[in-house]
C-alpha cells in the first residue's frame, strides 16, 4: 500500500485521492484551533506560500482527540483558519488520528514513521510530554499520534521521509523541504 492509495474528504466534504498529489512533496499535519501549537498555522501557511509553486503542498487534518481542542464543525474550522491565519493550503474533514477509529491514512503514516520521542531538550518538548503524561498517559505508548500538530513529510516518490512531533516548528522544517525540492 502506498500514500497514493488513500482517499480522504476535504473540508467541504468532497472525496480527494492523495494520488492527486503524486510527484509533490507533502506535509501532512493533524491540526486543532484551540491548541497551544495553533499559531503554527501561520508558519505552515508561510511554508506553503514559499514552496507551493515548486511542488510542495501541506494537507491539514483537524482532530478533536486531544483535550477537545478542535470542537468546531468543518465550516467553523475552515473559517477560523482562513480568518485568523490566512490558510490557503488544503484542509480536510475533521477525523480521528489515533485509536480504533483512526483514519486509515494516519494508521498508515504512524506505521511508516514510528514515534521516536518528544524533544525533551526544548521547554516546549518538556511541556507537551507533561501534558500528555497527565491527561493521556496511554498516548506515551506505541507509535500513534501523541498530540496536535504532528507532521509527516512525504517525498515526491510517495515515501514517508520523516515524522516531526508538535514541538518541531514549520520554520525548522524549511531547510529540510528546501533540500528536497
CA distance 51 to 75: 26
Instruction: Examine the residue annotation and report whether 81 is marked as an active-site residue of this protein.
Output: no
Greatest alpha-carbon span in the chain:
42
Choice among 35, 57, 67, 180 that is catalytic: 35
Measured CA to CA in angstroms, residue 59 lies from 102, 130, 138 at distances of 17, 28, 27
DSSP-based helix, strand, coil % in the chain, nearest 5: 40, 20, 45
Write phi, then psi, for 73 (nearest 5 degrees). -85, 175
Backbone angles phi, psi at 25, to 5 degrees: -85, 130
30, containing H or E segment: strand 25-31
Question: Which residues are the active-site residues?
Answer: 35
Amino acid at each position: 500500500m502506498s500514500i497514493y492509495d488513500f482517499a480522504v474528504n476535504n473540508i467541504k466534504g468532497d472525496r480527494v485521492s492523495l494520488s492527486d498529489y503524486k510527484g509533490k512533496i507533502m506535509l501532512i499535519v493533524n491540526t486543532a484551533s484551540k491548541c497551544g501549537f495553533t499559531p503554527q498555522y501561520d508558519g505552515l501557511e508561510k511554508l506553503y506560500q514559499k514552496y507551493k509553486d515548486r511542488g510542495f503542498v501541506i494537507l491539514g487534518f483537524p482532530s478533536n482527540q486531544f483535550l477537545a481542542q478542535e470542537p468546531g464543525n468543518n465550516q467553523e474550522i475552515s473559517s477560523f483558519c482562513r480568518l485568523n491565519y490566512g490558510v490557503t493550503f488544503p484542509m480536510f474533514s475533521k477525523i480521528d488520528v489515533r485509536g480504533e477509529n483512526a483514519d486509515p491514512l494516519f494508521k498508515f503514516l504512524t506505521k511508516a514513521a514510528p514515534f521516536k520521542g518528544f524533544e525533551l531538550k526544548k521547554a516546549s518538548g518538556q511541556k507537551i510530554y507533561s501534558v500528555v503524561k497527565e491527561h493521556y498517559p496511554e498516548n506515551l505508548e506505541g507509535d500513534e499520534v501523541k498530540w496536535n500538530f504532528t507532521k509527516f513529510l512525504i517525498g515526491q516518490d510517495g515515501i514517508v521521509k520523516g515524522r516531526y512531533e508538535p514541538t518541531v516548528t514549520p520554520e525548522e522544517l524549511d531547510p529540510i523541504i528546501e533540500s528536497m525540492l
